[in-house]
Amino acid sequence: MAYWLMAADNGPKAYEVPPKPIPVDWETSHCTSRDDHHVAEVAEGDAVALVRVGRHGGVVAHGYTTAVVADHSSGGERFSLRCDPRRISVRFDETYLSAPVPLRLLPGIATSTKARYARSSPHRPVPLLEISDEAWQALVRAVEKPGPYEWPVAWNLEPGAVVSRRDVHDTYGGQRQGAIVRCGTTPNTFVFLGAGFNGAPFAYRWADDGALALVGKPEEGTLTASTGEPVSFENRLVLRHLRSGIPLRIFHSSGRKPVIYLGEVVVDQERPVEDWIDVSAPPPPILSPRRGTQERAHEQRRFRAPLLRVHPVTELAPFLSPEQQPRRRRQTIRLGVTRSVNDAESATQPLATRLSDTEAIQHAANRLRAVPDGAVPELTDAAELADLVIRRHRTAGLGDLRRLIRDPDTREPAIQRLLEQHTWVFGGEYMGAAARRALSLSDQLDIPLIRGDGTLHGVEIKRANIPKLVVVHRGRPVVGAPVHEAVVQAMNYLRGLDEQRHTLLNEYGVDCRRASMTVIIGNPAFVREQLTTEEVAEAIRTYNSHLSRIKVLTYSELLNGAHRSLRLAGAPTPVPRRR
């Protein structure tokens, strides 16, 4: 397997009339003349990293080549004809558009090559560059430990912050009107929900697989849902933001009032356009030559708006209007400096509710550094710092778990490695993971946990992509065969533990007599039947009501429970009033 660096597109141009179709493949060849051909032999399965070219650039995503669509073929003697380029299909597993990795951190790349990636020119495209395994490993390590960023790359708003749209554009750029805006001074693209296009509200809705469907700009004419159709400049900003390496951020807008920042999203790579909906527009008025009055044409102009599918990069803020947000969350931003507007009210609130996690960690660490040598620091400061660090680590783990369970190609080992580092998602009744997986002589548990009373609890991990997780039998949703097979496997584990109870108790000190199991399997987004998430959950609950020591849990339920636990753990403790 080879490793490649690939330059991102420069993005759509507003003056493209008519607009060009959105490319779905990537070219790996660049020919300047009949005898000058530059072809990168990228094979299927090779690792590919996307580089955002320019002064705000760096590596912003990495993935792998899914297929070689077309091979390079030269025009031969036909010098006037362009060569057929070599094309590949790429899927990006990890996207970090807001935290680019500088090329200077990758060893083995010439300075002149890095300089070419630092310049952005549509007339001088940067070819693909093959890098070494050492450079790729350095990239992976840099992604795990993002460094500090300064304006214009840095982003200083946390999801849920209420700001004025004027401050947003003064700090990050972009025009002050419109629903989809590209910034010129910073690498960002904004989507303002509620701004509206041609009288049609710019709305949104959640899909069953967890994707957010945004209503894009209406297009005049009859367009299909294919990404190869020409679309407007505004819709291309959303559909091509990943190819351009630009973060896509959404706000909730309501006229001239302040906007609320909801969070960062990324466009769906498999199905960026869910469907096209009809949007009616009133006919334009015309002047009648006989009466000298304005009349409207009988023909009504037809518009169709695309439903753009995006996925949250992190947990989005609640979809509330700015009036429903607490005033202490309203902020003013100037060149990356964020401050609270209502400082008198926010001063009475706990620090973790007023600042972001990064600012709160830095604030608590500064208080500990200010303790004189030899003095004992306040336990509350140390406990607050530890709580903030743990909460941030757990939030990042939930983001990784969300990405894994949404990928249909994810296997059990990848999910198991992540859950072994975040056993807290299974609840507070477990003290932690057992040191030995092979407690039984014949079986091996995926994740063995220890309850507070010293008994064993095993976790069996299955794939998230289970199309027959729930099927329809005689008009009712019931669990499918994969669930039965996983439960039978858990029964065999429990039987083996019961038969060797005395041996395991004497040798490891673990009581397996009252052991239990949890089977984590499937994601409602991959269910083949036309069932809602609630119907899938109801079928699983009905099945669990007839089990004794085994519980079946979907990955969506596990993730939702972990989110609730994290929010409750981070909620401030109410102060009792004096009577």
pLDDT at 572: 44
pLDDT at 389: 76
For the segment 163-219, what is each residue's pLDDT rounded down to a tens digit?
A: 888 888 888 888 888 888 998 888 999 998 876 554 444 567 777 777 888 888 887
Are the beta carbons of 34 and 74 closer than 8 angstroms?
yes
Q: Is the pLDDT of residue 409 over 60?
A: yes
State how far the Cα of 412 lies from the Cα of 395, in Å rounded to an integer. 21
Q: Find the length of the chain.
A: 579
C-beta atoms surrounding 225 within 10 Å:
14
Where are the domain boundaries for CATH 2.30.280 in the chain? 162-337
For the segment 454-481, what is each residue's pLDDT rounded down to a tens digit?
A: 778 889 999 999 999 999 988 889 999 9
Residue 285, classified by CB atoms within 10 Å of its CB into exposed (0-12), middle (13-18) or buried (19+), is: exposed
Average pLDDT, the chain: 76
Average pLDDT over residues 326-352: 43
Q: Is the pLDDT of residue 31 over 50?
A: yes
pLDDT at 90: 92
Average pLDDT over residues 73-92: 73
The number of CA neighbours under 13 Å toward the Cβ of 433 is 18
Average pLDDT over residues 295-315: 73
Where are the domain boundaries for CATH 3.10.590 in the chain? 3-144
Structurally, what CATH architecture does the domain formed by 3-144 represent?
Roll (3.10)
State how far the Cα of 216 lies from the Cα of 241, in Å rounded to an integer. 14
State how far the Cα of 314 lies from the Cα of 526, in Å rounded to an integer. 21
pLDDT at 69: 87
Calculate the CA 490 to chain-centre distance: 33
Q: Give me the percent of the chain exceeding a pLDDT of 90.
A: 18
Domain 162-337 has CATH 2.30.280: yes
| CA angle 361–367–369, rounded 5-degree value | 100
300 vs 36, residue with greater confidence: 36
Average pLDDT over residues 288-315: 68
Determine the angle formed by the axes of helices 357-369 and 379-406, rounding to 10 degrees: 150
Average pLDDT over residues 483-498: 90
Q: Confidence band (pLDDT; 50, 70, 90) for 529?
A: confident
Integer angstrom CA distances of residue 485 from 310, 393, 445, 517, 541 = 34, 34, 16, 14, 17
Q: Confidence band (pLDDT; 50, 70, 90) for 342?
A: very low
Are the beta carbons of 260 and 165 closer than 8 angstroms?
no
Q: Confidence band (pLDDT; 50, 70, 90) for 576?
A: very low
Tokens describing residue 181? 């805006």
Residue with tokens 């005689």: 474
pLDDT at 339: 40
Amino acid identity, residue 242?
L
Calculate the CA 60 to chain-centre distance: 13
208 vs 52, residue with greater confidence: 52
Are the beta carbons of 89 and 64 closer than 8 angstroms?
no
State how far the Cα of 242 lies from the Cα of 12, in Å rounded to an integer. 12
pLDDT at 487: 94
Residue 291, classified by CB atoms within 10 Å of its CB into exposed (0-12), middle (13-18) or buried (19+), is: exposed
Average pLDDT over residues 231-249: 89
Q: Is the pLDDT of residue 301 over 70?
A: no
Residue 457, classified by CB atoms within 10 Å of its CB into exposed (0-12), middle (13-18) or buried (19+), is: buried
381 vs 525, residue with greater confidence: 525
pLDDT at 70: 86
Q: Confidence band (pLDDT; 50, 70, 90) for 519?
A: very high
538 vs 286, residue with greater confidence: 538
State how far the Cα of 193 lies from the Cα of 278, in Å rounded to an integer. 19
C-beta atoms surrounding 145 within 10 Å:
6
pLDDT at 422: 84
Average pLDDT over residues 316-343: 53
Give the single-character DSSP code of 336: T
Q: Is the pLDDT of residue 349 over 50?
A: no
Calculate the CA 94 to chain-centre distance: 9
pLDDT at 477: 92
Q: Confidence band (pLDDT; 50, 70, 90) for 340?
A: very low
pLDDT at 41: 85
**From 93-107, 494-508, 517-531, 547-561, the region with the lowest mean pLDDT:** 494-508
pLDDT at 446: 80
Tokens describing residue 262? 């909801």
Q: Which helix (H) or strand (E) holds 559?
A: helix 555-570
Nearest residue to 404 via CA among 394, 392, 390, 414: 414
| CB proximity list for 141: less than 8 A, separation 6 or greater | none
pLDDT at 164: 86
- According to DSSP, the β-strands at 248-252 and 189-193 are parallel
Q: Is the pLDDT of residue 152 over 80?
A: no
Q: Confidence band (pLDDT; 50, 70, 90) for 544?
A: very high
pLDDT at 456: 82
pLDDT at 161: 85
Average pLDDT over residues 275-301: 57
Tokens describing residue 426? 């299974």
- According to DSSP, the β-strands at 331-334 and 219-220 are unpaired
For the segment 422-461, what is each residue's pLDDT rounded down to a tens digit?
A: 888 887 556 555 544 555 544 677 888 877 777 788 899 9
For the segment 94-145, what is each residue's pLDDT rounded down to a tens digit?
A: 999 999 998 888 888 887 777 777 765 545 566 788 899 999 999 999 998 8
Give the pTM: 0.55
Average pLDDT over residues 80-93: 81
